[in-house]
Structure 1
Amino acid sequence: MADKQTENLHADAAGLDARPVAEILALLLSGQAAAVAAVERALPDIAQGARLMADAIAGGGRLVYAGAGSSALMANADGMELPGTYGIPAERILLCMAGGIPTDAHMPGDTEDDGAAGAAAGVTLGAGDLVIAVTASGSTPYPLELARAARRGGARIVAIANNRNAPIFELADASIALLTPPELIAGSTRMGAGTAQKVALNLLSTLAAIQLGQVHDGMMVGLKADNTKLRARAAGIVATIAEVRPAAAIKSLEATGGDTKAAVLVALGQTPGEARAMLATHHGNLRAALARLRLPAANAGEIANQGSSL
């Protein structure tokens, strides 16, 4: 069908629509499993991309998610979840989608070819910003031209694509090739390619958040507790780390205005002001701040520069 892996026919596609339902589902599931397996080969490049993401946020820059169609939906979903989950300020995240983010089920396909719109979005970016460009083919005009313009302005690029030697990789500081097999529904990259993209994006942003000090012992200490469930989660985090009763954890959160990291330190005897100052000294890294509390003053200098954060 094409020389792109994402457009080729799958070896098991013949007669797919005439097979028993259970067999169809088993084949579709195997395609999803193969897509996830493809991500493992890209782990070193994902690590490189996560470091770039963490550096951009720590340096005051922005994360710019860019794509078209289903790839953009995967990318935008990742970006939208970072403020609530890890406390990354929403104003530090830009969502760029060909044709704009849909408000209903109508998602025109022709907008992905609008390279001029991509370039117009890219020229607003510069040094310190990081573009995360996601395109299954690796040659979609909108993200390609956005990345090209952003790179000219000094931004760095993480490129995610599902074809080897994709043109987008020529612009990238970190190239994440997710070499998924041909789709069982030829060209339907919302299937295997999209699954691999979603997994890779999850890994990228989660590792970046860990490197920014927004995760402590598997708990999201940077979360924005703006609903009942998350307020309860924040209280549980404070109680677990500080080893205090739930009532004390809630009181500490109230004293810090819901700042989970600071609340942990307050629960351990610091004033809110002292807690915030200690976190600032340690670049927002709670583990380093806790170590400072637990070590003799003579050893404090050894950990003063641990961690990096927002």
Structure 2
Amino acid sequence: MTAVDGRRLARTEERNPRSTSIDRMSTIDLLRVINTEDHGVPVAVAEVLPVLAIAVDLAVEALSGGHRIHYVGAGTSGRIAVLDAAELIPTFGLEPGRVVAHIAGGTHALTNPSEDAEDDEEAGVAAVSGVVAGDVVVGVTASGRTPYVRAALAVARAKGARTVLVSANPASPIGAAVDVHVAPDTGPEVLTGSTRMKAGTAQKLVLNAFSTAAMVRLGRTYSNLMTDMLASNDKLRDRQLRILAEATGAGVDRCRQAFGVAGGDAKVALVTLIAGTSVERARQVLAEARGHVHVALRMLDACGT
């Protein structure tokens, strides 16, 4: 870290010596510099996977216990968090309100610059007003010092929620005050301080991995297939039938019939096709297995039904 006026700066704010001449480069050379810097992002994320695993386990514990996950962020970080939360509903059939995202400046900030909102600590406190003990609050901030996020995490922890910080600053002043700090060190940006670049990419990778791993652990897939996805258009309905066919080896026509008999529940249809059991029995055993298809199939095999 360097210091300006006595204030220590995050590595994301440092000047990158490999890009000091970008304003004199050809277009292709400029793009190569950006791309070369981007190569280091997944490497940085890989180094924090053991810590991320702890955060995933906290999320699984919370969601399986009926609690919620809250994302809190500002600017690019907040927009990435909103995107991740929104996509869990169609991808995994997650009930609305189970994973929610709060962005500084509200919905206006999704498509408009709202940099001043990140300093609003009162708004951060208000964002977590509905948090209760047992929830998990994930603060997302590249710098690791955003006041909106800091205030939200402090209040959440006081309420008894578990807290996670996702930053690009291993030395974040907030880091010591949370349960888990996931901080891939992506280093100085190509454009000094522009954390929409490498730091933002790292946050996207981290949240993708965090939420996907949590959903898989909660039984929202079978193998690597999206058995719980919401099929709300023709493309997705076709995909749902292909998933059933891939998982069971049955033809598309048979899958369509099983899907209809199962009342549109793809996971129930899958179990009936693989185990040759009734819809009622498949639904019962899936409930007992808490939605885990592998567990349900083992249970059916064990009792011969």
Query: Under TM normalisation by the shorter chain, which class is it?
Result: over 0.9
CA distance in 2, matches of 1:54, 1:260: 23
**Are 1:37 and 2:43 counterparts?**
yes
The separation in 2 between residues aligned to 1:26 and 1:141, in whole angstroms, is: 35
- Hey, what does 2:251 align to over in structure 1? 245
Instruction: Give the superposition deviation at 1:115.
Output: 0.7
Residues matched between the structures, number: 298
* Matched residue type, 1:211: R
- Partners of 1:256 and 1:148 lie apart in 2 by 46
Summarize deviations over 1:124-145 as a string: whole Å, max 9, x none.
2011211111000111011111
2-structure distance, mates of 1:14, 1:29: 15
Q: Which residue of structure 2 aligns with residue 116 of structure 1?
A: 122
Q: Which amino acid aligns with 1:294?
A: D
| Structure 1 residue aligned with 2:283 | 276
Contact 1:122 1:148 in 2 (8 A): no
Q: Report the counterpart of residue 92 of structure 2 in structure 1.
A: 86
Of 142, 148, 154, 2:154 maps to 148
Cα distance in 2, alignment partners of residues 105 and 76 from structure 1: 12
Distance 1:287 1:259 in 2: 17
- Extract unaligned runs of 5+ from structure 2: none
Residues 104 and 52 of structure 1, relative CA distance in 2, 3 Å threshold: closer
- TM-score calculated relative to the size of structure 1: 0.91
Q: Confirm whether residue 100 of structure 1 aligns to residue 77 of structure 2.
A: no
Residue of structure 2 equivalent to 1:190: 196
User: What's the CA shift for 1:175?
Assistant: 1.3
Residue 135 of structure 1, aligned match among 138, 141, 148: 141
Structure 1 CA distance for aligned equivalents of residues 24 and 288 of structure 2: 65
- Secondary structure of the residue aligned to 1:229 is helix
Query: Contact 1:65–1:132 (CA<8 Å) still a contact in 2?
Result: yes
User: What is the aligned partner in structure 2 of residue 201 from structure 1?
Assistant: 207
Which residue in 2 is equivalent to 1:159?
165
TM superposition shift of 1:93: 2.0
Q: Unpaired segments of 5 or more residues in structure 1? A: 301-310
> C-alpha displacement at 1:104, in angstroms?
6.6
Residue 296 of structure 1: CA displacement? 4.4
User: Is the CA contact 2:222–2:293 (under 8 Å) kept in the aligned structure 1?
Assistant: yes
Offset of residue 43 of structure 1 = 0.6
Q: Secondary structure at the match of 1:95?
A: strand
Mark the CA change 1:280 to 1:104 in structure 2 (over 3 Å): closer, same or farther.
closer
SS at match of 1:131: strand
The CA distance in 1 between the partners of 2:302 and 2:252, in whole Å, is 26
Alignment-derived partner of residue 182 in structure 2: 176
| TM-aligned CA deviation for residue 260 of structure 1 | 1.5
Counterpart Cα distance in 2 of 1:286 and 1:194: 35
Please give the secondary structure, in 1, of the residue aligned with 2:107: coil
Shift of 1:230: 1.6
Tell me the distance in 2 between the aligned counterparts of 1:130 and 1:49. 9
Larger mean CA deviation between 172-181 and 263-272 belongs to 263-272
Given that residues 225 and 258 in structure 1 are in contact (C-alpha distance below 8 angstroms), is that contact kept between their aligned partners in structure 2? no
Residue 295 of structure 1 is aligned with which of 292, 296, 302?
A: 302
Task: Quote the residue 2:233 is aligned against.
Answer: 227
